[in-house]
Amino acid sequence: MDEQRVRSWVDGYERAWRSPGTGALAELFTGDATYQQSPYREPVRGLPAIAAMWEAERTGPDEDFRMTSEPVALDGDTAVVRVEVTYGQPTRQQYRDLWIIRFAGDGRCRAFEEWPFWPEKSYRPD
């Protein structure tokens, strides 16, 4: 996996999020892929479950957001990408995220893990 292929995959992810339905997910994820929405959350397993989660999590394909991303590490079949997303104008929600993406030989994701962070939220234990 090289930086250009990672950037292309992330662009495809954003296009899929902005598109109606979940058909484009098969181009991004293997049939048995896992998708972990945060480090301590149980992963969603398999393309049908990922599609159901995807539809439940987004407002719809016309959702107003801006997304920027930058690959920060590549090692073999694994990439780490820093992502920043801002929803609405004016901003109603934003977060920064690290995506750990493990790719299959065909360039689709076989394991996806998010580490999301929100502004003004404490990340220290009580």
Residue 125: what pLDDT? 66
The kind and range of the H/E element at 11 are helix 3-17
Residue 45: what pLDDT? 98
Residue 80: what pLDDT? 98
| Cis status, amide bond into 90, omega within 30 of 0 | yes
Average pLDDT per consecutive 10 residues, the chain (126 residues; last block may be shorter)? 95 92 96 95 96 89 87 97 90 89 97 90 66
Residue 123: what pLDDT? 65
**Taking the complete model, does pTM exceed 0.85, yes or no?**
yes
Q: What is the DSSP letter of 106?
A: T
Residue 1: what pLDDT? 85
